[in-house]
Amino acid sequence: MSVVAAGGGRKRARSESVSSVVGKDSPFRLMKFEATMSLPPAYIGNAFQGISELLNARLLKYDERLGGVMLSYSGVRLEQPHGCVFNEVPELQFRVRSRALLFSASAGMRLQGTVNQITAGHIMLLVYGAFQVSIDREHIPEKYTYSSSLERYVSSNDDDEIIELGTLVEFAVIRFRDEGGPWFIEGSLLLDGVSSAVSSNIEASTESTPSKKKKKHKTPKKSKSTEKKKKKSKKAK
């Protein structure tokens, strides 16, 4: 193993408390993370530029390790002033720490989105003007009937209750979907159904965890005096 100077020195950012920045029920989350990043030799003497380019490539992409979509990062710093080269791999490895702002909507969380596409099979929403949400027909209440001529869903209970392009609707998050193409959120308009499903999954996981074994109470051993008394009583008989 050999070491190479990082170069491109930068002052360390002051540590900041992030607990009060994002609300408890918000889908946005500030977090600190650390990772090992590999840079080609072209970045010798300018490691921060290479690390910035790697982090920029991760922006607006779903990252399963972070549990959300990285929107921005700040406070990048190196754990050591030199990069390491292991064996015959022609790359410099640096241990990096940084802060990141994530869009991390958890299952069961309720959000609002604007309808930007509607068909008989699904509804597409836009959340915060940036994130796509897909709601399949099975997650739309049965009271809604799709009208192909009007391109809208109409409620059988109330004709004025419609879902069409531009409608702001509340939905529940099911999960993030990332299948090689652009990531999106899978949602549901069956708000109570999603909440109960999430709570049942939590209950199932707690039931599956093994409980602590109860300590076995040892039966007290009989004293020698009691055994002698029993023998004497037998002889007397």
pLDDT digits (tens, 9 = 90+) for 39-50: 998 888 888 999
In angstroms, the CA 36 to CA 88 distance is 18
Among residues 59, 87, 103, which one ends one of the domains? 103
Of the two residues 157 and 23, the one the predictor is more confident about is: 157
Residues 97 and 127 in one domain: no
* 129 within some domain: yes
Residues 130 and 68 in one domain: no
Tell me the per-residue pLDDT of 5-51, one tens digit each, with 9 for 90 and over.
455 444 333 333 333 345 568 999 999 989 999 999 888 888 899 99
Of the two residues 137 and 215, the one the predictor is more confident about is: 137
Q: What's the rounded mean pLDDT across residues 174-199?
A: 79
* 203 within some domain: no
Chain mean pLDDT for the chain: 79
* 88 within some domain: yes
Residues 84 and 150 in one domain: no
- Taking alpha carbons only, the member of 17, 53, 32, 52 closest to residue 102 is 32
pLDDT at 209: 46
CATH number at residue 166: 2.40.50.140
What is the separation, in whole angstroms, between the first and last Cα of the chain? Answer: 88
- Taking alpha carbons only, the member of 216, 118, 114 closest to residue 168 is 114
Residues 76 and 94 in one domain: yes
* 193 within some domain: no
Q: What's the rounded mean pLDDT across residues 172-195?
A: 86
pLDDT at 6: 58
Residues 94 and 124 in one domain: no
User: Cα separations (Å) of 209 from 119, 203, 213?
Assistant: 43, 10, 12
Residues 40 and 78 in one domain: yes
Query: 3-state DSSP helix/strand/coil percent for the chain, to nearest 5?
Result: 20, 40, 40
pLDDT at 84: 83
pLDDT at 113: 97
Among residues 45, 79, 103, which one ends one of the domains? 103
Instruction: Name the residue range of residue 138's domain.
Output: 109-188
Residues 63 and 96 in one domain: yes
* 200 within some domain: no
* 168 within some domain: yes
Residues 95 and 119 in one domain: no
pLDDT at 198: 43
Among residues 52, 83, 103, which one ends one of the domains? 103
CA angle 194, 200, 205 (to 5 degrees): 130
* 139 within some domain: yes
What pTM was estimated for this model as a whole? 0.68
Total domains present in the chain:
2
* 178 within some domain: yes
Task: Give the tokens for residue 235.
Answer: 């002889």
Residues 71 and 114 in one domain: no
Residues 139 and 77 in one domain: no
CATH number at residue 67: 3.30.1490.120
In angstroms, the CA 171 to CA 226 distance is 75
Q: With a cut of 50, say whether residue 4 has pLDDT above it.
A: no
Q: With a cut of 90, say whether residue 160 has pLDDT above it.
A: no
Residues 120 and 183 in one domain: yes
Asked which of 62-71, 130-139, 218-227 is least confident by mean pLDDT, the reply is: 218-227
Of the two residues 33 and 86, the one the predictor is more confident about is: 33
Task: Give the tokens for residue 39.
Answer: 């840079």
Residues 93 and 142 in one domain: no
pLDDT at 56: 96
pLDDT band at 157 (very low <50, low <70, confident <90, very high): confident
pLDDT band at 203 (very low <50, low <70, confident <90, very high): very low
